[in-house]
Each structure stands twice: as C-alpha cells, then as structure tokens.
Amino acid sequence: MLDIQQLRTQLDTVADGLAKRGKPIDFSEFKTLEAERKTLQTRTQELQAQRNSLSKQIGMLKGQGKDASEVMAQVGTLGDELKASEVRLAELLEQFNAILAALPNLPADDVPVGEDEAGNVEIKRWGTPRVFDFPVKDHTDVGEALGQLDFATAAKIAGSRFSLLKGGLARMHRALAQFMLDTHAVDHGYTELYAPYLVNAASLQGTGQLPKFEEDLFKVLRGEQDPLYLIPTAEVPVTNIVRDEILAAEALPLKFVCHTPCFRSEAGSGGRDVRGMIRQHQFDKVELVQIVHPEQSTVAHEELTRQAEVILEKLALPYRRVLLCTGDMGFSAAKTYDLEVWLPAQNTYREISSCSNFAAFQARRMQARFRNDKNKPELCHTLNGSGLAVGRTLVAILENYQQADGSVTVPSVLRPYMGGLESLQPL
C-alpha cells in the first residue's frame, strides 16, 4: 500500500515511479474522487459536530426534566443531508482503498528500469559450472533412474504438478531443510518459527497477495465460516506476526526463519515448466523474514541476500545474483535480488531464491509500526527472501552432482543430516 498523503501531494512523482514498472496507471479517477473528498469530508464532519452538540443538549434538557422537542426538531433537519454525506463519503473512501490496494510498490531509486527479465542486471557470479564427460541428464531423468522420483504416481494421487519422493531422495529433501534451518538459526542469528499453513484473508491482504492475486492461491471453503487460504509462502504467516502491532524500538530488528510447504495454484502458468519439479503446486521453502527500522532496510537487504547465498556456497552450487529491473519485480517489492542456480541440463541459471525489500509497503497495509525517537508510531520496513527453495535446491543437486553411473553424490554438508550417506544409489 502506498501512502495516500503522497498520492495527494506528489501524484506526478508517484505516477512516474509506477510507470517505470511498465504499465502506466490512469490517475484521473483518483483526481476526481480526491476533488470531491476534501469538501465532502469537511462538510460531513461539520454536520456531525452539529448533531453531536445538539444531541448533547437534548440529553441535558431531558436530564433536567425540560422539554426538548424544539431541539429535536432542529437536529431532525440535519438528518437527510448528514445521512447522504456519510453514505457518499463511505463510498469514496472505499473507492480510495480499492485503488490503493491495487497499486504496486514504488521501485527503489537504484532499481534499473526495464520491461521484463531482459532488463535485469547480473550483479555477481559464484562458482564454476562443472564440465561433464558424459551426457548430462535433467533432474527428472536422474531422479526417475534412481527410482526415487515418481511423477506418475503423484499424478494418480493428486494430479499434475505434484511429486512423490522416495528413499534417499526424500531423506535428502528433509536434510536440506534441516541444514538450511540450522545455518540461519545458529550461524545467522534468526529465530526459528513453526507457523500456520492456513491463513485468513486479512493476512494475505497484509503481505499483498490479496486482493489482486486470489487466482494464484488455494482457497479452503468452510461452509458458513470465513474461508482460509493455503499459504503460498511462509512470508505470509511470519510477516503478519507484526500486523496491527506497535513495537518498542528496541525490539527491532526481528529476524525469523521458517520452513513450510508452499502452495500455489500456478494459474496462468500453463505449459511452463510442466516437466519435473521446477514449478509445483506444493513445494517446501525455508524463508527468511526481517522486520527492521526504516533506516536499516537497505543494509538488511544486502545482509539477508548474502545469507541466502551462503547456503548455495556451502552446497557448492554455482549461482549468480541478479538485480531485478522495474518490469520484472513483484507487486509489493521496492527492490529485489534473485539468486539463480546453475542447472547444467538446461545450460542456464534458474531462480532459486528471491530476496526483497518491501520498504513500508507491507507495513502500511498491515499497520506494523514501532515507536520512534519522538515516541511516535512509525511504519517498520519488512524484508524477506528464500533461503532457499528446497525443491529447486534438490533439483540443482540432482543435476550438478549426477555421476556417469546414474548415482548422485551427496554434498558434504548434507552428509551429517543423512547418517553419513555419501551417494544416492538406484533403489
């Protein structure tokens, strides 16, 4: 959510910033509504003040046992205009909210302007892609040859875009999550959380998935009761911890790490990445979330991204860091780094982590504040990043660590989590 004050006072600046995202937004409706709002709001409050004071008089007169009919007649004349003003004002405010809730965040100043992923800027590369002396298989072929990755059975059980892992591969999946959690909780100082996988609509509003992106979510209907939604990322339950809170300044920064499954309907992604476990309805992710003082968010963003990179380096997986351009950034983000891991079968880097600074955008939606130097409530800044997507990490290991005989070497940092197992062998 953008600051409505900023829209009122610097509409052109806001419009310019949003235009950089690619689709210029028409603010003529906003201007029309705003012109009406100011006078209507003043007038409504004036009428309310009159009504309140007259009503008080009625109370006083009646309390003294006097006749109040004259004053009651007087307040009666206000009735129609007041009612009409209140109704119209409520309509206007609702329209403002709808406009505001649908506007994406302003890109940070140092975000490159571009239309799509072609405009992204590579920041760094780490690691050297391995040279194979045998034909490289993609992760689906490697996993199925091991007999430990079974899409056909998953499709029977649930449908397309689900996977069934078995044996050592299932264990490696678990080991990855444990390894990531330990690294962030112990080495990086994050507080580990276990959080709900189903959330209410208010939480999804808070982080920005609703109202615009409902079709991306799995919705659980419960008869008369309010629906719940399966979380698309741990960002939702974790960031909403501070929704409607006013924190003490000393409480910041908050740093949370949380491993959850993530559920995405993948509506509109038809045909993309249908093979393999790159794009699934259900995948696990270890998520990093920080709630920080506004002056700290830029530094925190670098720190958090670096902490995600550490996981890739410990796993010895080659990757690159990319700064997303204005046209490729997510709805709520002010600035985003993607980490892309090397996938030899595709001969390219693929996204495995997305680390974003949301500035005050989410905090304003969810009214997450802290008491500043002047003891006044001020919006926090929020950040999050994958550290990392577990399923895609498993994909990267299958491809990068495959051997000519069909086995897959277990990265050394994972071995303590797998009973010392050094290699996945066909079942």
Partner RNA sequence: GGAGAGGUGGCAGAGUGGUCGAAUGUACCUGAUUCGAAAUCAGGCGUACUGCAAGGUACCGAGGGUUCGAAUCCCUCCCUCUCCGCCA
For the CB of residue 225, give the shortest distance to RNA in the complex, in Å.
3
296 binding RNA? (CB under 7 A): no
Residue ranges of alpha helices (H) inside 10-68 are: 11-19, 28-63
- Residues 16, 24, 31, 76: which binds RNA (CB under 7 A)? 76
* Residue 369 tokens, joined: 């504040």
Q: Which member of 225, 270, 295, 374 binds RNA (CB under 7 A)?
A: 225
Residue type, 99: I
Q: Is 279 a catalytic residue?
A: yes
Q: Using the rule CB under 7 A, is 35 a contact of RNA?
A: no
CA–CA–CA angle 386, 99, 227 (5° rounding):
60
423 is catalytic: no
Listed in sequence order, the DSSP H helices in 103-161 are 139-146, 151-157
Smallest separation (angstroms) from RNA to the CB of 93: 10
Which 8-state DSSP code applies to residue 186?
Answer: I
- Site for RNA (CB under 7 A): which residue of 11, 15, 33, 58? 58
By CB under 7 A, tell whether 160 contacts RNA: no
CA distance 406 to 145: 7
**Residue range at the interface with RNA (CB under 7 A); choices 54-62, 169-177, 208-216, 292-300:** 54-62
Q: Are 240 and 207 in contact (CB under 8 A)?
A: yes
Dihedral angle, C-alpha 396, 398, 402, 405, nearest 10 °: -170
Distance CA(416)–CA(260), nearest Å, equals: 22
Question: Among 56, 66, 124, 156, which residue interacts with RNA (rule: CB under 7 A)?
Answer: 56
Known catalytic residue at 354: yes
Residue (of 75, 104, 82, 89) closest to 1 by Cα position: 104
392 is catalytic: yes
Spot the catalytic one: 51, 88, 174, 279.
279
Contact in structure between 380 and 291 (CB atoms under 8 Å):
yes
Rounded CA-CA distance 221/131 in Å is 51
Q: 359 near 384, Cβ under 8 Å?
A: no
- Kindly state whether residue 65 participates in binding RNA, applying the rule CB under 7 A: no
Scan residues 184-203 and list those touching RNA (CB under 7 A). none
The β-bridge partners of 126 are 319
| Least distance (Å) between residue 162 CB and RNA | 24
353 has catalytic annotation: no
- 224 near RNA (CB under 7 A): yes
Nearer to RNA, 237 or 318 (CB): 237
Cβ 377 to RNA shortest distance, Å: 4
Residue written as token pair 């030899």: 344
Nearer of residues 220 and 274 to RNA, judged by Cβ? 220
Looking at the Cβ atoms of 58 and 413, the one nearer to RNA is 58
- Among 296, 312, 255, CA closest to 124: 312
49 binds RNA (CB under 7 A): yes
Residues acting as catalytic residues? 264, 279, 351, 354, 392
Contact footprint for RNA (CB under 7 A):
5, 41-42, 45-46, 48-49, 51-56, 58-60, 62-64, 72, 75-76, 79, 90, 224-226, 246, 369, 376-377
